[in-house]
């Protein structure tokens, strides 16, 4: 068993749900998060609104599942990211689970 975590801008929430379904990952959780990118100091100082909030509404999905389903999900995520027209690709990581109850 492994833990897979996928993050996306809120705009792609329905797409991620479809990808989880295609990968046969039926049990998962999600949570709304604010996503940030560190801007270079030059960009921050030249930004009129540099003191304002620069976070993006994002969402994080996570599931405890087996390697085969995660492999399928990663294939689908890579395919999705290849066709993006924005600079906000879906991100994913896998964490091994040593113990669970």
Residue 100: CA count within 13 A, CB half-sphere: 8
Q: Say if 27 falls within a structural domain.
A: yes
**How many domains does the chain divide into?**
1
Place of tokens 């492999």: 71
Q: Say if 48 falls within a structural domain.
A: no
Q: What is the pLDDT along the chain (101 residues), one digit of tens a residue?
A: 899 999 999 999 999 999 999 999 999 999 999 877 766 554 545 444 445 556 678 999 999 999 999 999 999 999 999 999 888 999 999 999 998 88
Q: Say if 77 falls within a structural domain.
A: yes
Q: Say if 92 falls within a structural domain.
A: yes
Q: Say if 51 falls within a structural domain.
A: no
Phi, then psi, of 44 in degrees rounded to 5: -65, -45
Q: Quote the tokens at residue 79.
A: 């395919």
Between CA 1 and CA 58 the distance in angstroms is 26
Q: Say if 45 falls within a structural domain.
A: no
Which CATH number do you get for residue 60?
3.30.70.120
Question: First-to-last CA distance in the chain?
Answer: 12
Nearest C-alpha neighbor of 15 from the set 65, 64, 76, 62: 76
Structural domain for 79, as ranges? 2-35+56-96
Q: Say if 28 falls within a structural domain.
A: yes
Q: Say if 26 falls within a structural domain.
A: yes
């Amino acid at each position: 068993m492994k833990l897979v975590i996928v993050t996306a801008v809120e705009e792609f929430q329905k797409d991620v749900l479809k990808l989880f379904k295609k990968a046969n990952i039926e049990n998962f959780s999600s949570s709304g998060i604010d996503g940030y990118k560190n801007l270079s100091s030059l960009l921050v100082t030249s930004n009129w609104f540099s003191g304002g909030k620069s976070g993006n509404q994002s969402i994080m999905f996570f599931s405890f599942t087996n390697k085969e389903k995660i492999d399928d999900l990663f294939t689908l995520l890579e395919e999705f990211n290849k066709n993006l027209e924005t600079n906000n690709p879906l991100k994913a990581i896998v964490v091994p689970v040593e113990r669970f109850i």
